[in-house]
Amino acid sequence: MSHRSLAAFHDHDHADCTDAGLDRADALAQSRGLRLTPVRRATLEILLSRHKAFGAYEILDELKQAGFGSQPPVAYRALDFLVEQGLAHRVRRLNAFMACTHPGTDHAPAFFICTECAAVAELPEESLRAAVSDAATSIGFEVQRLSVEAEGLCPNCKADE
């Protein structure tokens, strides 16, 4: 389990997370011959700014404040690119997006969503992937995409109870 995965539920210098995430995204885009346009980069920076999932309209509001336009396609195009490139995930339960904490790796994310503070941690849960894959194979099913979303209380909110 990496420090990045655990950071969502613990105090830390979040500027380091954001800087490291942008550096990883720049390197990944360059290695793939892709362009991290200003709006894509700004969208990723928003997602990296806090360990939570953001709705598309929250992102659009922040992009608008940064001078990138106010039409929904501005945010959705950037989010589609980031998800396609593995730099962000869609958290379906929340109808929202978050930065990937393991970009450039093939993984089946497990999202742990705090129902109190809205923090979201992502862990690449390979044992879960293997278990689901084995179960699917036993019924002749081929898994093409897997993510798990669990809701509960983070360590901080649990301690506050």
Q: DSSP assignment of the chain, as one string?
A: --HHHHGGGS---HHHHHHHHHHHHHHHHHHHT----HHHHHHHHHHHTSSB-B-HHHHHHHHHHTTS-SSHHHHHHHHHHHHHTTSEEEEGGGTEEEE-SSTTS---EEEEEETTT-BEEEEE-HHHHHHHHHHHHHTT-------EEEEE--HHHHHH-
Mean local confidence (pLDDT), 26-51: 93
Least confident of 33-47, 61-75, 116-130: 116-130
Q: pTM of the predicted model, to two decimals?
A: 0.82
Percentage of the chain beyond pLDDT 70 is 92
**pLDDT tens figures, 48-91:** 988 889 999 999 999 999 999 888 898 999 999 999 999 999 99
Query: Is residue 4 pLDDT above 50, yes or no?
Result: no
Structure-model confidence comparison of residues 112 and 13, the more confident one = 112
Structure-model confidence comparison of residues 115 and 106, the more confident one = 115
Give the pLDDT score at 2. 44
